């Protein structure tokens, strides 16, 4: 049974939400239910990790709520905006103006400097960055001495720091991360997760991250667990050991079912 949120958490504004969200692939014998009427809220100023076994629907949930994929039924909202009612151009604008993305692949343009990669989304949108905010973000992720370097001149950890700064630079309403430390060694991964944690604590950012790593999940304020396209549990103030024990239960059930 999923724990009931506290009154304080209910009173918190919601950055994104899914209500009875479904995603179905194929028909007949090839029909696969990736999401089965999922309802979940992502409060503002909170770091949420999404976990579950392979094929549980965790990435599908994030992609649908982030406007990167369509859904078959139910509702997905960013703030008060219902994604299902938006045309492609409106969705593109919403993602550009209100959402930040961090992926496992750094997705940096090799011909641009770190600073140019950070400001690229705003440049495309024709918006000038808030210089004070930019300086704060760059300082937080420790890139002040690397802004003139191109990606090939940066380590993997430094490249992902650029990606984190790029996601934060426009002050989005919410940041979605899909295995953002998956290509990093443990030290670099810990640094990037620390930056995301600090962005929530110090900058009031909202972060939703899909991960398979219990250590990564322990940086979050809460973890939601998916299995077979449904939310089956939630853990507040997670620890790496607690998350690992919960994931082992999924493995055990999977072997015995």
**Residue 25, beta-bridge partner list:** 32
CA atoms within 13 Å, Cβ hemisphere of 14: 16
- pLDDT of 9 reads 46
Beta strand 73-78 with 14-25: parallel, antiparallel or unpaired? Answer: antiparallel
Concatenating the DSSP letter of every residue in 193-221 gives HHHHHHHHHHH---EEEE-S-HHHHTTSS
Instruction: Please tell me the predicted confidence (pLDDT) of residue 154.
Output: 94
The answer, yes or no, to whether residue 136 has pLDDT greater than 50, is: yes
The predicted model scores a pTM of 0.88
Q: Look at residue 253 in the predicted model and tell me its pLDDT.
A: 60
Q: What SS3 class is residue 81?
A: strand
22-40 confidence digits (pLDDT tens): 999 988 888 899 999 999 9
Percentage above 70 pLDDT, the chain: 93
Q: Mean pLDDT, the chain, as a whole number? A: 89
Which residues partner with 210 through β-bridges?
50, 178
Lowest mean pLDDT segment, chosen from 3-17, 57-71, 142-156, 161-175: 3-17
pLDDT digits (tens, 9 = 90+) for 209-255: 999 999 999 999 999 999 999 999 999 999 999 999 988 887 666 54
What gap in Å lies between CA 251 and CA 68, rounded to an integer? 29
pLDDT beyond 60 at 7: no
Residues 110-120 have pLDDT tens digits of 999 999 999 99
Residue 91 scores a pLDDT above 70: yes
Torsion of CA 133, 93, 43, 250, to 10 degrees: -120
- Is the per-residue pLDDT at 71 higher than 80? yes
* pLDDT exceeds 80 at position 3: no
* pLDDT band for position 127 (cuts 50, 70, 90): confident
Domain spanning 14-256 has what CATH number? 3.40.50.300
Whether pLDDT at 48 is above 60: yes
What whole-number percentage of the chain has pLDDT above 90?
Answer: 63
Q: What is the pLDDT of residues 56-67, one digit of tens each?
A: 999 999 999 999
């Amino acid at each position: 049974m999923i724990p009931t949120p506290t009154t304080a958490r209910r009173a918190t504004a919601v950055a994104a939400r899914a209500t009875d969200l479904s995603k179905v692939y194929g028909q007949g014998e090839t029909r696969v239910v990736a999401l089965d009427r999922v309802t979940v809220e992502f409060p503002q100023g909170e770091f949420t990790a999404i976990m579950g076994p392979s094929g549980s629907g965790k990435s599908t949930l994030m992609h649908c709520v982030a406007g990167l994929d369509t859904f078959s039924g139910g509702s997905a909202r960013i703030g008060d905006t219902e994604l299902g009612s938006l045309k492609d151009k409106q969705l593109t604008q919403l993602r550009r103006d209100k959402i930040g993305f961090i992926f496992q692949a750094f997705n940096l343009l090799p011909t641009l400097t770190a600073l140019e990669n950070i400001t690229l989304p705003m440049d495309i949108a024709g918006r000038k960055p808030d210089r004070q905010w930019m300086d704060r973000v760059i300082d937080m992720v420790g890139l002040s001495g690397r802004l003139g370097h191109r990606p090939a001149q940066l380590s993997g950890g430094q490249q992902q720091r650029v990606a984190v700064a790029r996601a934060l630079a426009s002050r989005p309403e919410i940041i979605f991360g899909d295995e953002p430390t998956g290509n990093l060694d443990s030290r670099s991964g810990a640094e990037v997760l620390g930056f995301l944690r600090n962005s929530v604590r110090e900058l009031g950012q909202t972060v939703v991250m899909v991960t398979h790593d219990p250590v990564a999940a322990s940086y979050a304020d809460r973890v939601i667990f998916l299995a077979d396209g449904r939310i089956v549990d939630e853990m507040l103030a997670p620890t790496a050991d607690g998350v690992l024990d919960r994931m082992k239960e999924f493995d055990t059930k999977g072997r015995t079912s």
